[in-house]
Chain A
Amino acid sequence: MIEIKQVRKSYGSLEVLKGIDLTIDKGEVVAMIGPSGSGKSTLLQCINGLETISSGEIIVDGVSVFDKATNLNHLRRKLGIVFQSYNAFPHMTVRRNVTLALTKVLGVSRDQANAIAETQLQRVGLLAKADVYPTALSGGQQQRLGIARALAMGPSYMLFDEVTSALDPELVAEVLATLRQLSAEGMTMILVTHEMQFAREVADRVVFFHEGVIAESGPPEQIFGNPKSERLRAFVSRAG
């Protein structure tokens, strides 16, 4: 379970998160939507401590992320993250991209890491590309590599930060198919997304961010079918 309690964050005098409360249960798929700059990506990266917070608390399976005694590197093994920019390591083959952290962070043997990498690459349909360098991959393939790399660590939670935003429209579908498959397998996922149709389809709960606060949240039918606030209504009709 991920518990976000009264989280605030400022960049200088600009407050981007103004007291967020949100709890995500095991097995849930939560979609965070909202206009650019509303704070949703920032919050996502706070969950695994890549961004710091100004006040409040985030607790992952009973461990406080920003407690000084918490080993963040250790905690991050539980929290797979995939970014908008694909972030494949360009100097390593696709296979090595997946095995690097397995061997160096988890201490898995080379053989075992290779076996895990092959399973995960198979899962995202990239096994045939295992021994090429990421530059030889399309954007969609690089993004699926990012997903396989994160999944290989055996996380309990997956964080997706606008993973389709940098993709050409024709490549979005293949990445969404991978996410859909993950949700069907029962993975706990938090998605920051601009794909409203997709959020409506896979999310158990949709959270609407506006100017650093959660303006509205609920099941997708309610958020998209019967938005309460004028803001959300406007956002949903614009985003279509």
Chain B
Amino acid sequence: MPPDMFASGIAPQDYWLMAEGAWRTILMTLSAGVLATLLGVALGLLKLMPWRGLRHLLDTVTDSLRCVPLLVQVTLIYSGLAVLGFRIGAFTAGMVALGLFAAGYISEVVREAAQAVPGNLRRAARGLGMTRFQEYWYVVLPLGIRQGFPSWLGIILGIVKDTSVVAVIGYVELLRATQNIITRTQDPLPLLSLAAVFYFLICFPLSMLGRRLEHMMNGGAVR
């Protein structure tokens, strides 16, 4: 009888360990995603303000966030802060690092989405006597969200996968949990396949939900 590829020393509790890892991946994605979105929207809006100095400063900050590898950022935030005497947990460090990293991208999405709203529409809003705030609230925001939503979702899906980087500081998310088991069984293929299924199960519903929302937003209001 040929050796069964699934009879390779995977114990029942290993599946449980992986499910736990998957849950931590979800938690990390949610926390970092919320942080990145709030921060990214704020940064993006600030970049749209007519203050050149501020814009250059923020561009430099977000460019740095986007240019330094995430692995380096995670380690720097975790160990760097520890060296300075601030002990924060792996979860907090990971959330902050991932959140900052993604916020840099989201701020660009926000800026581009707002700039994609036709200037003529904004002019029309002002021509009706709307204030600048009303112009943004009733015209730029709703149209900008439609414009930027797909890119934003792409960044959130990116966070799901980037959570694996946080493993370097000891946060046992899905991939780290999987690797822990692999060290014991010495048989990566079935376990990595299973991990891939878990990642898919996390991303796919998000992606479907996104497509649903996109469709709803564009219902009747396609441009």
Task: Using CB atoms and an 8 Å cutoff, list the residues of chain A in contact with chain B.
Answer: 48, 50, 73-74, 76-77, 81, 83, 85, 87, 89-92, 100-101, 104-106, 132-133, 135, 146, 149-150, 153
In the complex, the answer to whether B127 meets A91 with C-beta atoms within 8 Å is no
The 7 lowest CB-CB distance pairs between A and B, nearest first, are A87-B124, A101-B128, A76-B129, A81-B127, A105-B129, A91-B221, A133-B220
Contacting residues, chain B, for A92 (C-beta < 8 A): 221
* Contact A89-B139, Cβ < 8 Å, known A104-B134, A135-B222: yes
Q: Does B90 contact A (CB under 8 A)?
A: no
Q: Does B126 contact A (CB under 8 A)?
A: yes
In the complex, the answer to whether A90 meets B143 with C-beta atoms within 8 Å is yes
Nearest Cβ on chain B to A94's Cβ, whole angstroms:
11
Task: Using CB atoms and an 8 Å cutoff, list the residues of chain B in contact with chain A.
Answer: 118, 120-121, 123-131, 134, 138-139, 142-143, 146, 220-223
* Contact A91-B142, Cβ < 8 Å, known A135-B222, A135-B223: yes
In the complex, the answer to whether B129 meets A135 with C-beta atoms within 8 Å is no
8 pairs of residues in contact across A and B, judged by CB atoms under 8 Å: A50-B123, A81-B127, A91-B143, A91-B146, A100-B128, A100-B138, A104-B134, A105-B128
* Contact A87-B129, Cβ < 8 Å, known A104-B138, A133-B220, A135-B222: no
Nearest Cβ on chain B to A35's Cβ, whole angstroms:
22
* Contact A105-B134, Cβ < 8 Å, known A74-B129, A77-B129, A91-B142: yes
Contacting residues, chain B, for A50 (C-beta < 8 A): 123, 126-127
Contacting residues, chain A, for B146 (C-beta < 8 A): 91
In the complex, the answer to whether B221 meets A87 with C-beta atoms within 8 Å is no
In the complex, the answer to whether B123 meets A83 with C-beta atoms within 8 Å is yes
Chain B, residue nearest A93 (CB): B220
Contacts A90-B223, A91-B146, A104-B138 given; 5 further ones with Cβ under 8 A? A76-B128, A76-B129, A87-B124, A106-B129, A149-B128
Q: Which DSSP category, helix, strand, loop or mixed, fits chain B's interface?
A: helix
* One of A73, A90, A133, A146 near B129 (C-beta < 8 A): A73
In the complex, the answer to whether A135 meets B221 with C-beta atoms within 8 Å is yes
In the bound complex, how far is the Cα of B118 from the Cα of A150, in angstroms? 19
Chain A, residue nearest B127 (CB): A81
Nearest Cβ on chain B to A164's Cβ, whole angstroms:
16
In the bound complex, how far is the Cα of B142 from the Cα of A83, in angstroms? 22
Contacting residues, chain B, for A76 (C-beta < 8 A): 126-129
Nearest Cβ on chain B to A99's Cβ, whole angstroms:
11
In the bound complex, how far is the Cα of B16 from the Cα of A73, in angstroms? 62
In the bound complex, how far is the Cα of B221 from the Cα of A208, in angstroms? 40
In the complex, the answer to whether B134 meets A133 with C-beta atoms within 8 Å is no
Contacting residues, chain B, for A85 (C-beta < 8 A): 118, 120
In the bound complex, how far is the Cα of B134 from the Cα of A213, in angstroms? 36
In the complex, the answer to whether B130 meets A105 with C-beta atoms within 8 Å is yes
In the complex, the answer to whether B130 meets A101 with C-beta atoms within 8 Å is yes
In the bound complex, how far is the Cα of B222 from the Cα of A132, in angstroms? 12
Contacting residues, chain A, for B142 (C-beta < 8 A): 91
In the bound complex, how far is the Cα of B128 from the Cα of A81, in angstroms? 8
Chain A, residue nearest B221 (CB): A91
In the bound complex, how far is the Cα of B131 from the Cα of A87, in angstroms? 17
